């Protein structure tokens, strides 16, 4: 059996890492394809090195662009590889343009598609990620749902029950496996002169937040108040695009916010684990915070990870400063004793075993 694993962004590298490691352990015939969505392969090469993963055999170097440009380039580049290699299954993860472009290319060549993290729904079709999730799920032959709720979403859309397997989420495997590597390698606390538990972490990258002056201004105002109330620094690993918007909108960064370069995954994982709380608009970080038992405030009006809300470890706050501050107060006053809803850390093994058992 030949499995083609396609990824294109850093979160995909992280969440596919347990599957790649298990393929290596079994000596499975597989290929690793990096589309280069958002970043060049050269920028991501450190991720493969730090996570002790083999280098991709193929690199498409798609780069940034409109959704149509990215998806089209991915389809054109991947089609050539799939025609040459003819894998049995193309495995994709999540909700990016890499996922949709790869699923379309494989399906049109009558190659089975396996979707890792299938069935997530925000119910907001203005989000490009929601469109990518929906279409990929309806193309895929194998739908690896992380939770029973995700499985229920798929069944409600009329997807054949036989295609769906609840495997847990590979993010649990990734956190447990990679935290050990991080502890051995990273010196982040010494480098940043930080005490565990003595700071907040902020991330903001979604278009609806950083490209909107009012929303971005509200986030900055909320952080100003947060620092005033708690007296703790707010670590903000900021994407260059976000910094550009701050400058364009004339928004100054207040005292208390420490702008950092985008961190490596291992360093950021340790920063997450020891944060007083995390404020984010990222779906993956919501999951990691939940797994690490760190309170999370989501800077959105919806989430495709409602399980994190049900545990009590995450609150939707949008970008209104008053709601954000109230949410911080609520999560900090509660005990972080929730149960991780995303599985036992063996999802990567389950996914590969299902594929092998079906052949």
- Residues 59 and 81: beta-carbon distance below 8 Å: no
Cα separation of 237 and 258, whole Å?
Answer: 8
- What is the C-alpha separation between 182 and 50, in angstroms, rounded? 9
Query: Which tokens hold the place of 278?
Result: 């995390």
Check: CB of residue 351 under 8 Å from CB of residue 343. Answer: no
Residues β-bridged to residue 236:
259
CA 70 to chain centre: 19
Q: Is the dihedral of CA 184, 185, 190, 193 positive or negative?
A: negative
Catalytic residue among 138, 205, 239, 293: 205
Closest-CA residue to 119 (of 90, 91, 157): 157
Q: What is the dihedral of CA 301, 152, 112, 350, to 10 degrees?
A: 100
Q: What sections of 211-281 are H helices per DSSP?
A: 213-230, 240-248, 265-273
Is 205 tagged catalytic?
yes
Q: Please give the C-alpha separations between residue 49 and each of 3, 42, 160, in angstroms, as whole numbers.
A: 22, 11, 39
The neighbouring-strand residues paired with 277 are: 200
Q: Which two tokens stand for residue 323?
A: 């709601």
Q: Is there a contact between 223 and 234 (Cβ–Cβ < 8 Å)?
A: yes
Active site residues: 205
């Amino acid at each position: 059996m030949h499995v083609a694993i396609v990824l294109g962004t850093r979160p995909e590298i992280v969440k596919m890492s347990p599957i790649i490691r298990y393929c290596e352990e079994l000596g499975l015939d597989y290929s690793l394809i990096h589309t280069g969505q958002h970043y060049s392969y050269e920028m991501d090469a450190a991720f493969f090195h730090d996570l002790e993963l083999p280098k991709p055999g193929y690199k498409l170097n798609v780069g940034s662009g409109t959704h149509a440009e990215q998806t089209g380039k991915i389809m054109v580049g991947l089609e050539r590889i799939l025609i040459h290699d003819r894998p049995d299954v193309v495995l994709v993860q999540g909700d990016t343009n890499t996922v949709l472009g790869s699923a379309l290319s494989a399906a049109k060549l009558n190659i089975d598609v396996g979707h890792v993290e299938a069935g997530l729904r925000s119910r907001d079709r203005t989000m490009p990620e929601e469109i990518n999730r929906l279409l990929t799920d309806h193309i895929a032959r194998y739908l690896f749902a992380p939770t029973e709720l995700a499985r229920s979403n798929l069944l409600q859309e009329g997807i054949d029950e036989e295609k769906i397997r609840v495997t847990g989420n590979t993010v649990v495997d990734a956190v447990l496996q990679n935290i050990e590597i991080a502890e051995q390698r990273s010196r982040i606390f010494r480098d940043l002169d930080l005490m565990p538990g003595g700071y907040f972490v902020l991330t903001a990258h979604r278009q609806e937040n950083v490209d909107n002056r009012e929303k971005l201004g509200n986030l900055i105002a909320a952080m100003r108040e947060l620092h005033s109330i708690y007296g703790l620094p707010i670590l903000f690993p900021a994407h260059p695009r976000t910094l550009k918007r701050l400058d364009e909108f004339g928004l100054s960064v207040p005292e208390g916010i420490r702008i950092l370069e985008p961190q490596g995954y291992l360093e950021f994982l340790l920063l997450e684990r020891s944060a007083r709380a995390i404020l984010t608009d990222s779906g993956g970080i919501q999951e990691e915070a939940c797994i690490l038992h760190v309170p999370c405030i989501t800077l959105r009006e919806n989430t495709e990870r409602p399980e994190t809300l049900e545990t009590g470890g995450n609150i939707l706050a949008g970008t209104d400063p008053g709601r954000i501050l109230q949410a911080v107060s609520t999560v900090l006053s509660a005990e972080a004793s929730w149960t991780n809803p995303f599985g036992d850390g063996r999802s990567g093994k389950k996914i590969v075993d299902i594929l092998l058992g079906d052949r």
